[in-house]
A and B are shown apart, each in its own frame.
Chain A
Amino acid sequence: MDKVEHFNDMLVRLEELLYHELSGCAAWKVELVGIDFIQSKNIKGNTEDEVITHCIKEIIASGLVKNMIYSIGGKGILLNLKMESCIHLPKEVRLKKDGIKPYICPIANMIMDQLIEKLKYETTYLAKLDFDEKTRECKVKCAIYETPDKIGLVSDWSKEEL
Protein backbone atom coordinates (compact mmCIF):
# COMPACT_ATOMS: atom_id res chain seq x y z
CA MET A 1 0.00 0.00 0.00
CA ASP A 2 1.26 3.45 -0.95
CA LYS A 3 0.75 5.42 2.26
CA VAL A 4 1.48 8.81 0.67
CA GLU A 5 -1.16 8.17 -1.99
CA HIS A 6 -3.60 7.10 0.71
CA PHE A 7 -3.03 10.26 2.77
CA ASN A 8 -3.27 12.48 -0.30
CA ASP A 9 -6.55 10.79 -1.22
CA MET A 10 -7.88 11.59 2.23
CA LEU A 11 -6.67 15.19 2.00
CA VAL A 12 -8.43 15.57 -1.36
CA ARG A 13 -11.71 14.41 0.16
CA LEU A 14 -11.38 16.73 3.13
CA GLU A 15 -10.33 19.71 1.01
CA GLU A 16 -13.27 19.13 -1.33
CA LEU A 17 -15.67 18.73 1.55
CA LEU A 18 -14.51 21.88 3.32
CA TYR A 19 -14.77 23.88 0.11
CA HIS A 20 -18.25 22.52 -0.49
CA GLU A 21 -19.32 23.54 3.03
CA LEU A 22 -17.64 26.93 3.26
CA SER A 23 -16.95 28.04 -0.33
CA GLY A 24 -14.05 30.47 -0.69
CA CYS A 25 -13.46 31.08 3.00
CA ALA A 26 -12.46 27.44 3.45
CA ALA A 27 -9.00 28.65 2.49
CA TRP A 28 -8.93 30.91 5.54
CA LYS A 29 -9.61 28.05 7.95
CA VAL A 30 -6.77 25.69 7.09
CA GLU A 31 -3.66 27.54 8.20
CA LEU A 32 -2.86 24.92 10.85
CA VAL A 33 -2.89 21.98 8.43
CA GLY A 34 0.63 20.58 8.30
CA ILE A 35 2.17 22.51 11.19
CA ASP A 36 2.54 19.57 13.57
CA PHE A 37 5.48 18.23 11.60
CA ILE A 38 7.47 21.45 11.73
CA GLN A 39 6.55 22.11 15.35
CA SER A 40 8.19 18.79 16.23
CA LYS A 41 11.49 19.89 14.68
CA ASN A 42 12.70 22.54 17.12
CA ILE A 43 13.25 25.15 14.43
CA LYS A 44 15.70 27.84 15.51
CA GLY A 45 16.55 31.28 14.23
CA ASN A 46 16.49 34.93 15.11
CA THR A 47 15.77 36.30 11.67
CA GLU A 48 13.34 35.61 8.87
CA ASP A 49 16.09 34.07 6.75
CA GLU A 50 17.35 31.83 9.55
CA VAL A 51 13.90 30.50 10.41
CA ILE A 52 12.87 29.93 6.79
CA THR A 53 16.19 28.29 5.92
CA HIS A 54 15.97 25.95 8.89
CA CYS A 55 12.38 25.01 7.99
CA ILE A 56 13.35 24.28 4.38
CA LYS A 57 16.28 22.15 5.53
CA GLU A 58 13.98 20.01 7.68
CA ILE A 59 11.30 19.78 4.99
CA ILE A 60 13.80 18.58 2.37
CA ALA A 61 15.54 16.22 4.79
CA SER A 62 12.23 14.54 5.59
CA GLY A 63 11.49 13.99 1.91
CA LEU A 64 8.35 16.13 1.85
CA VAL A 65 9.80 18.03 -1.10
CA LYS A 66 12.80 17.26 -3.27
CA ASN A 67 14.01 20.83 -3.46
CA MET A 68 12.81 24.21 -2.33
CA ILE A 69 13.93 27.82 -2.67
CA TYR A 70 12.45 31.10 -1.47
CA SER A 71 12.66 34.84 -1.82
CA ILE A 72 11.33 37.78 0.15
CA GLY A 73 9.98 40.78 -1.72
CA GLY A 74 6.96 43.03 -1.97
CA LYS A 75 8.31 45.57 0.54
CA GLY A 76 9.05 42.69 2.87
CA ILE A 77 5.59 41.13 3.01
CA LEU A 78 5.82 38.71 0.08
CA LEU A 79 7.28 35.28 0.70
CA ASN A 80 7.74 33.44 -2.60
CA LEU A 81 8.24 29.69 -2.33
CA LYS A 82 9.19 27.36 -5.16
CA MET A 83 9.07 23.64 -4.50
CA GLU A 84 10.03 20.66 -6.57
CA SER A 85 8.28 17.29 -6.31
CA CYS A 86 6.19 17.96 -3.22
CA ILE A 87 4.57 14.78 -1.90
CA HIS A 88 1.23 16.62 -1.92
CA LEU A 89 1.39 17.48 -5.62
CA PRO A 90 -0.95 14.57 -6.54
CA LYS A 91 -3.54 16.16 -4.22
CA GLU A 92 -3.38 19.44 -6.12
CA VAL A 93 -3.61 17.65 -9.46
CA ARG A 94 -6.65 15.63 -8.46
CA LEU A 95 -8.45 18.61 -6.93
CA LYS A 96 -7.94 20.63 -10.09
CA LYS A 97 -9.36 17.76 -12.15
CA ASP A 98 -12.36 17.73 -9.81
CA GLY A 99 -12.93 21.43 -10.52
CA ILE A 100 -11.65 22.84 -7.24
CA LYS A 101 -8.73 25.22 -7.05
CA PRO A 102 -6.39 23.77 -4.41
CA TYR A 103 -6.05 26.01 -1.38
CA ILE A 104 -4.19 23.97 1.24
CA CYS A 105 -0.40 23.95 1.15
CA PRO A 106 0.85 22.16 4.26
CA ILE A 107 4.44 23.08 3.39
CA ALA A 108 3.76 26.83 3.21
CA ASN A 109 1.70 26.54 6.38
CA MET A 110 4.75 25.10 8.15
CA ILE A 111 6.95 28.06 7.30
CA MET A 112 4.32 30.66 8.10
CA ASP A 113 3.65 28.91 11.39
CA GLN A 114 7.27 29.16 12.41
CA LEU A 115 7.42 32.86 11.53
CA ILE A 116 4.52 33.35 13.92
CA GLU A 117 5.75 30.95 16.60
CA LYS A 118 9.45 31.79 16.61
CA LEU A 119 9.56 35.41 15.46
CA LYS A 120 6.12 36.48 16.73
CA TYR A 121 4.92 37.67 13.35
CA GLU A 122 1.51 39.29 13.63
CA THR A 123 -0.22 37.30 10.92
CA THR A 124 0.27 35.49 7.61
CA TYR A 125 -1.87 34.57 4.64
CA LEU A 126 -1.46 32.03 1.87
CA ALA A 127 -2.28 34.21 -1.11
CA LYS A 128 -1.64 32.06 -4.19
CA LEU A 129 -0.93 28.44 -4.93
CA ASP A 130 0.14 27.45 -8.44
CA PHE A 131 1.53 24.17 -9.63
CA ASP A 132 2.67 22.49 -12.81
CA GLU A 133 2.02 18.78 -13.09
CA LYS A 134 4.55 18.31 -15.89
CA THR A 135 7.50 20.00 -14.22
CA ARG A 136 6.34 18.83 -10.76
CA GLU A 137 6.88 22.35 -9.51
CA CYS A 138 4.75 24.40 -7.10
CA LYS A 139 4.89 28.16 -6.71
CA VAL A 140 3.33 29.67 -3.62
CA LYS A 141 2.92 33.31 -2.66
CA CYS A 142 2.46 34.03 1.02
CA ALA A 143 1.80 37.36 2.69
CA ILE A 144 3.83 37.64 5.89
CA TYR A 145 3.19 40.52 8.26
CA GLU A 146 5.77 41.04 10.95
CA THR A 147 3.82 43.85 12.60
CA PRO A 148 0.34 45.40 12.11
CA ASP A 149 1.82 48.40 10.29
CA LYS A 150 2.94 46.09 7.47
CA ILE A 151 -0.71 45.68 6.47
CA GLY A 152 -1.37 47.87 3.45
CA LEU A 153 2.18 47.85 2.07
CA VAL A 154 1.08 47.22 -1.48
CA SER A 155 3.13 46.57 -4.59
CA ASP A 156 2.84 44.57 -7.79
CA TRP A 157 3.70 40.97 -6.99
CA SER A 158 3.53 39.89 -10.62
CA LYS A 159 6.93 41.52 -11.06
CA GLU A 160 8.44 39.40 -8.34
CA GLU A 161 8.24 35.86 -9.61
CA LEU A 162 10.77 33.47 -8.17
Chain B
Amino acid sequence: MGDILEVIKTRKSIRRYKPDPIPDKILDKILEAARWSPTGENYQPWRFIVIKNPETKNKIGNLAKLGSGSRMTAWYCLGEMQKRFEEIQDPVKRAEVLRFMYSGEVSEFAKQAPVIIAVIGTLMEGSVDVPYDLSACIENMLLEAHSLGLGACWVHGPVASTRDAAKFKKILKIPTGMGEYKAIAYIALGWPAEARKHPRPKKPLEEIVYWEEFGRRERI
Protein backbone atom coordinates (compact mmCIF):
# COMPACT_ATOMS: atom_id res chain seq x y z
CA MET B 1 0.00 0.00 0.00
CA GLY B 2 1.50 3.35 -1.03
CA ASP B 3 1.60 6.35 1.24
CA ILE B 4 -0.46 9.10 -0.41
CA LEU B 5 0.51 11.90 1.95
CA GLU B 6 2.64 13.60 -0.70
CA VAL B 7 -0.31 13.57 -3.11
CA ILE B 8 -2.46 15.15 -0.41
CA LYS B 9 0.13 17.75 0.53
CA THR B 10 0.93 18.88 -3.00
CA ARG B 11 -2.66 19.27 -4.18
CA LYS B 12 -3.72 22.87 -4.69
CA SER B 13 -6.85 24.46 -6.06
CA ILE B 14 -6.09 25.18 -9.71
CA ARG B 15 -8.26 27.70 -11.53
CA ARG B 16 -6.37 28.16 -14.80
CA TYR B 17 -6.29 25.40 -17.38
CA LYS B 18 -4.79 24.61 -20.74
CA PRO B 19 -7.42 24.05 -23.44
CA ASP B 20 -6.20 20.50 -24.06
CA PRO B 21 -8.95 17.90 -23.66
CA ILE B 22 -8.96 15.31 -20.91
CA PRO B 23 -8.99 11.77 -22.31
CA ASP B 24 -12.01 9.69 -21.31
CA LYS B 25 -9.73 7.08 -19.78
CA ILE B 26 -8.49 9.66 -17.27
CA LEU B 27 -11.96 11.05 -16.62
CA ASP B 28 -13.16 7.53 -15.89
CA LYS B 29 -10.42 7.06 -13.30
CA ILE B 30 -11.50 10.26 -11.53
CA LEU B 31 -15.12 9.10 -11.51
CA GLU B 32 -14.00 5.68 -10.31
CA ALA B 33 -12.19 7.36 -7.40
CA ALA B 34 -15.49 9.02 -6.51
CA ARG B 35 -17.35 5.72 -6.67
CA TRP B 36 -15.11 4.26 -3.97
CA SER B 37 -15.55 7.09 -1.46
CA PRO B 38 -16.74 6.45 2.08
CA THR B 39 -20.50 6.54 2.36
CA GLY B 40 -22.82 6.09 5.33
CA GLU B 41 -24.45 2.64 5.29
CA ASN B 42 -23.20 2.26 1.71
CA TYR B 43 -26.04 4.41 0.35
CA GLN B 44 -23.84 5.98 -2.35
CA PRO B 45 -26.19 8.93 -2.84
CA TRP B 46 -23.84 10.66 -5.29
CA ARG B 47 -24.62 11.28 -8.94
CA PHE B 48 -22.31 13.08 -11.36
CA ILE B 49 -22.93 15.15 -14.44
CA VAL B 50 -19.87 15.44 -16.65
CA ILE B 51 -20.01 18.64 -18.68
CA LYS B 52 -17.90 19.45 -21.73
CA ASN B 53 -20.37 21.57 -23.71
CA PRO B 54 -18.94 25.14 -23.87
CA GLU B 55 -22.40 26.70 -23.77
CA THR B 56 -23.30 24.88 -20.57
CA LYS B 57 -19.94 25.70 -19.01
CA ASN B 58 -20.47 29.35 -19.89
CA LYS B 59 -23.85 29.37 -18.17
CA ILE B 60 -22.36 27.80 -15.05
CA GLY B 61 -19.40 30.20 -15.13
CA ASN B 62 -21.77 33.14 -15.36
CA LEU B 63 -23.83 31.81 -12.47
CA ALA B 64 -20.69 31.39 -10.37
CA LYS B 65 -19.58 34.91 -11.23
CA LEU B 66 -22.96 36.29 -10.25
CA GLY B 67 -23.05 34.40 -6.94
CA SER B 68 -19.57 35.37 -5.80
CA GLY B 69 -19.82 38.88 -7.20
CA SER B 70 -23.15 39.64 -5.55
CA ARG B 71 -21.82 38.68 -2.14
CA MET B 72 -18.35 40.14 -2.49
CA THR B 73 -19.59 43.47 -3.85
CA ALA B 74 -21.67 43.82 -0.69
CA TRP B 75 -18.78 42.72 1.54
CA TYR B 76 -16.53 45.30 -0.12
CA CYS B 77 -19.13 48.04 0.32
CA LEU B 78 -19.33 47.12 4.00
CA GLY B 79 -15.53 47.31 4.31
CA GLU B 80 -15.18 43.59 5.05
CA MET B 81 -13.31 42.50 1.92
CA GLN B 82 -10.55 45.07 2.37
CA LYS B 83 -9.49 43.57 5.71
CA ARG B 84 -8.90 40.18 4.07
CA PHE B 85 -6.32 41.60 1.70
CA GLU B 86 -4.54 44.05 3.97
CA GLU B 87 -1.32 42.03 3.68
CA ILE B 88 -0.91 43.03 0.02
CA GLN B 89 1.37 46.04 0.36
CA ASP B 90 1.18 47.42 -3.19
CA PRO B 91 -2.02 49.49 -3.32
CA VAL B 92 -2.41 49.06 -7.08
CA LYS B 93 -2.06 45.29 -6.84
CA ARG B 94 -4.38 45.20 -3.82
CA ALA B 95 -7.02 47.19 -5.69
CA GLU B 96 -6.77 44.85 -8.68
CA VAL B 97 -7.09 41.75 -6.48
CA LEU B 98 -10.11 43.25 -4.77
CA ARG B 99 -11.72 44.16 -8.09
CA PHE B 100 -11.08 40.62 -9.33
CA MET B 101 -12.92 39.35 -6.26
CA TYR B 102 -15.92 41.68 -6.07
CA SER B 103 -16.53 41.61 -9.81
CA GLY B 104 -17.06 37.87 -9.45
CA GLU B 105 -14.37 37.17 -12.06
CA VAL B 106 -12.64 35.04 -9.43
CA SER B 107 -15.34 32.40 -9.86
CA GLU B 108 -15.76 32.53 -13.62
CA PHE B 109 -13.14 29.91 -14.47
CA ALA B 110 -15.58 27.09 -15.23
CA LYS B 111 -15.77 28.61 -18.70
CA GLN B 112 -12.13 27.79 -19.39
CA ALA B 113 -12.07 24.33 -17.81
CA PRO B 114 -12.16 21.53 -20.41
CA VAL B 115 -14.45 19.55 -18.11
CA ILE B 116 -16.57 20.30 -15.12
CA ILE B 117 -18.26 17.66 -13.01
CA ALA B 118 -21.41 18.58 -11.13
CA VAL B 119 -21.73 16.64 -7.89
CA ILE B 120 -25.26 16.06 -6.71
CA GLY B 121 -26.85 13.66 -4.26
CA THR B 122 -30.21 11.97 -4.21
CA LEU B 123 -32.34 12.81 -1.19
CA MET B 124 -34.90 10.16 -2.07
CA GLU B 125 -33.20 6.92 -1.13
CA GLY B 126 -32.97 7.25 2.64
CA SER B 127 -29.36 8.26 3.14
CA VAL B 128 -28.85 10.38 6.25
CA ASP B 129 -25.36 11.52 5.25
CA VAL B 130 -25.76 13.08 1.82
CA PRO B 131 -23.66 16.27 2.25
CA TYR B 132 -20.90 14.38 4.04
CA ASP B 133 -20.78 11.58 1.48
CA LEU B 134 -20.68 14.09 -1.36
CA SER B 135 -17.86 16.03 0.28
CA ALA B 136 -15.84 12.85 0.74
CA CYS B 137 -16.24 11.88 -2.90
CA ILE B 138 -15.23 15.37 -4.05
CA GLU B 139 -11.99 15.03 -2.09
CA ASN B 140 -11.37 11.60 -3.63
CA MET B 141 -11.79 13.08 -7.10
CA LEU B 142 -9.51 16.02 -6.36
CA LEU B 143 -6.76 13.72 -5.12
CA GLU B 144 -7.09 11.33 -8.04
CA ALA B 145 -7.04 14.23 -10.50
CA HIS B 146 -3.93 15.66 -8.87
CA SER B 147 -2.19 12.29 -8.85
CA LEU B 148 -2.82 12.08 -12.61
CA GLY B 149 -1.30 15.51 -13.21
CA LEU B 150 -4.56 17.40 -13.62
CA GLY B 151 -5.52 20.62 -11.90
CA ALA B 152 -8.90 20.89 -10.23
CA CYS B 153 -10.97 23.15 -8.04
CA TRP B 154 -13.92 22.43 -5.77
CA VAL B 155 -16.53 25.15 -6.39
CA HIS B 156 -19.49 25.69 -4.07
CA GLY B 157 -20.32 29.28 -5.03
CA PRO B 158 -22.95 28.81 -7.75
CA VAL B 159 -25.05 26.51 -5.61
CA ALA B 160 -24.51 28.42 -2.37
CA SER B 161 -27.78 30.31 -2.33
CA THR B 162 -31.14 28.62 -2.68
CA ARG B 163 -32.12 30.54 -5.79
CA ASP B 164 -28.74 30.01 -7.45
CA ALA B 165 -28.91 26.29 -6.68
CA ALA B 166 -32.27 26.16 -8.45
CA LYS B 167 -30.79 27.98 -11.46
CA PHE B 168 -27.86 25.52 -11.49
CA LYS B 169 -30.27 22.59 -11.46
CA LYS B 170 -32.30 24.08 -14.30
CA ILE B 171 -29.19 24.52 -16.46
CA LEU B 172 -28.41 20.82 -16.03
CA LYS B 173 -32.05 19.64 -16.08
CA ILE B 174 -31.79 18.29 -12.53
CA PRO B 175 -35.18 18.00 -10.79
CA THR B 176 -35.55 21.13 -8.67
CA GLY B 177 -37.70 19.88 -5.79
CA MET B 178 -36.10 20.47 -2.40
CA GLY B 179 -36.64 16.82 -1.54
CA GLU B 180 -35.13 15.42 -4.73
CA TYR B 181 -31.46 16.20 -5.33
CA LYS B 182 -28.93 18.28 -3.47
CA ALA B 183 -26.45 20.10 -5.68
CA ILE B 184 -23.43 20.54 -3.45
CA ALA B 185 -20.69 21.74 -5.80
CA TYR B 186 -18.92 21.21 -9.06
CA ILE B 187 -15.35 20.37 -9.80
CA ALA B 188 -13.52 22.21 -12.56
CA LEU B 189 -10.88 20.05 -14.22
CA GLY B 190 -8.08 20.59 -16.70
CA TRP B 191 -4.38 20.40 -17.35
CA PRO B 192 -2.90 23.11 -15.13
CA ALA B 193 -1.83 26.36 -16.75
CA GLU B 194 -0.56 27.71 -13.46
CA ALA B 195 1.69 26.56 -10.70
CA ARG B 196 0.70 27.86 -7.30
CA LYS B 197 3.84 29.73 -6.33
CA HIS B 198 2.67 30.60 -2.89
CA PRO B 199 0.81 27.69 -1.36
CA ARG B 200 -1.57 28.90 1.32
CA PRO B 201 0.02 28.45 4.73
CA LYS B 202 -1.41 25.69 6.87
CA LYS B 203 -1.88 25.85 10.61
CA PRO B 204 0.64 23.73 12.52
CA LEU B 205 -0.59 20.53 14.16
CA GLU B 206 0.15 22.01 17.57
CA GLU B 207 -2.51 24.59 16.93
CA ILE B 208 -5.26 22.27 15.75
CA VAL B 209 -4.79 19.00 17.62
CA TYR B 210 -5.87 18.25 21.17
CA TRP B 211 -5.11 15.07 23.02
CA GLU B 212 -7.76 13.08 24.89
CA GLU B 213 -9.95 16.12 25.52
CA PHE B 214 -10.73 19.51 24.04
CA GLY B 215 -8.05 22.07 24.80
CA ARG B 216 -5.40 19.64 26.04
CA ARG B 217 -2.23 20.26 24.05
CA GLU B 218 0.22 17.94 25.81
CA ARG B 219 0.74 14.86 23.71
CA ILE B 220 -0.05 11.70 25.62
Q: Chain A: residues with CB nearer than 8 A to chain B?
A: 25, 28-32, 74, 77-78, 116, 122-125, 127-128, 141, 143, 145, 148, 151-158
The total number of A-B Cβ pairs within 8 Å is 74
The 6 A-B pairs of least Cβ separation, nearest first, read A151-B69, A127-B74, A143-B74, A152-B103, A157-B77, A28-B161
In the bound complex, residues from chain A placing their C-beta under 8 Å from that of B71 are 28, 125
Give the A-binding residues of B (Cβ under 8 A).
Answer: 62, 65-67, 69-71, 73-79, 99, 102-104, 156, 160-164
The answer to whether A116 and B74 touch across the interface, beta carbons within 8 angstroms, is: no
Chain B residues whose CB sits within 8 angstroms of the CB of A153 once the complex forms? 73
Shortest B45–chain A CB gap in Å is: 17
The prevalent SS among residues of B at the interface is helix
A29-B161, A116-B163 are contacts. A152–B99 as well, Cβ < 8 Å? yes
Check if B66 sits within 8 Å of A122, measured CB to CB.
yes
B162 contacts A31, CB within 8 Å?
yes
Main secondary structure of the interface of A (DSSP, over half): mixed
Chain B proximity of A14: nearest CB distance (Å) = 15
Determine whether the beta carbon of A77 is less than 8 Å from that of B160: no
Are the CB atoms of B75 and A151 closer together than 8 Å?
Answer: no
Q: What are 6 A-B contacts defined by CB distance under 8 Å?
A: A25-B156, A32-B163, A125-B71, A127-B77, A148-B65, A152-B102
Min distance, Cβ A36 to any Cβ of chain B, angstroms: 14
Contact B78 A141, beta carbon cutoff 8 Å = yes
Distance of A156 Cα from B82 Cα, bound (Å): 12
With the chains together, A157 CA to B66 CA distance in Å?
20
Inter-chain CA distance A32–B62, complex, in Å, is 22
CA A78 – CA B77 in complex, angstroms? 9
Are A25 and B160 neighbours in the complex by a CB distance under 8 Å?
yes
Which residues of B are found within 8 Å of A143, using beta-carbon distances? 70, 73-74, 77
Q: Out of B73, B160, B163, which one reaches A151, CB within 8 Å? A: B73
B97: min CB distance to chain A, Å: 14
Contacts of B164 on A, CB cut-off 8 Å? 123
